[in-house]
Structure 1
Amino acid sequence: MSPGLLALVAVAGGVGAGLRYVVDRMLAPRPGGFPRGILVVNITGSFALGLLTGLGTAVVAPDVLAVVGVGLLGGYTTFSTVSVETVLLAQRRRRGQAMANLLGTLVLAIAAAAAGLWTGGLLAPA
């Protein structure tokens, strides 16, 4: 990886983190509520990465995939926040919401990634 590409991936990661913050704040629950913003971020980010991957290198150049996939979407999505929010919900004795957050994120993000891969495969040239 060239230093320029590394710099672009890093900048894109920062932009992705900023986008995550904006989406999370737009959908912010009341204090202590269900973290729906992060759920939306992880689902949309999983779909977008699946779509990019499904399009393949005939459509998406490897360097673009690195900047957008690893950088932007890597900064946008977050497993660590899901983990912390799940533990906080459990500590507040909201175990049902904690399980819904954990399992909902897992199932919906994987389904979104699969849908993105499928869609990308349909859109990619044969």
Structure 2
Amino acid sequence: MTPLLYVLIGPAAAAGAIVRYGIDRAITARTQRFGLGIVVTNVLACFLMGLTWQAWAGHGAAWALIATGFLGGMSTFSTAVLDAAVEIRSRPRISLALIALGLAACIGAFVAGAWLMRG
């Protein structure tokens, strides 16, 4: 990897984080469901990661910018866990289900994206 690629990964990650924030805010504003926006964003990022993995894994710069940069910034397991932790006292079952279903959906989305790209 070149030094320029290291510099470009940062803005790609920032762009992914901005997309994550926008999707989360839009879904939360419409549904009033705390945590749902992050789950949806993570599932979408995992689906896109599956597509990307099949298309560009091992292709250096494209892989690094899209997978590590943009999609790495877009997805966030730590925020999903934080959302569940905030809600766990008032709604423990829903919080635990959010984590479990979110993880299962992310794995399924990744597999679906990879399968779709493999064709």
TM-score if structure 1 supplies the norm length? 0.87
Identity percentage over the alignment?
Answer: 31
Query: Do residues 6 (structure 1) and 6 (structure 2) align?
Result: yes
User: 73, 78, 81: which one pairs with 2:79?
Assistant: 81
Tell me if structure 2 keeps the 8 A contact 1:16–1:75: yes
**SS at 1:112's partner residue?**
helix
Unpaired runs of at least 5, structure 1: none
Unpaired runs of at least 5, structure 2: none
Report the structure, 1 or 2, having the larger helix content: 2
TM-score if structure 2 supplies the norm length? 0.91
Q: Which amino acid aligns with 1:45?
A: A
Q: Which moved more, 1:8-17 or 1:21-30?
A: 21-30
Q: What is the CA RMSD across the aligned residues, in angstroms?
A: 1.4
The higher radius of gyration belongs to 1
Aligned equivalents of 1:23, 1:104: Cα separation in 2:
19
Q: 2:27 maps to what in 1?
A: 27
Superposed structure 1 runs of 4+ greater than 4 Å apart: none
Aligned equivalents of 1:75, 1:34: Cα separation in 2:
20
For residues 5-39 of structure 1, give each alpha carbon's deviation from its aligned partner in whole angstroms, at most 9, with x where no partner exists: 01111110000000000000100153xx4311101
Tell me if structure 1 keeps the 8 A contact 2:56–2:62: no
Cα deviation, residue 100, structure 1: 1.6
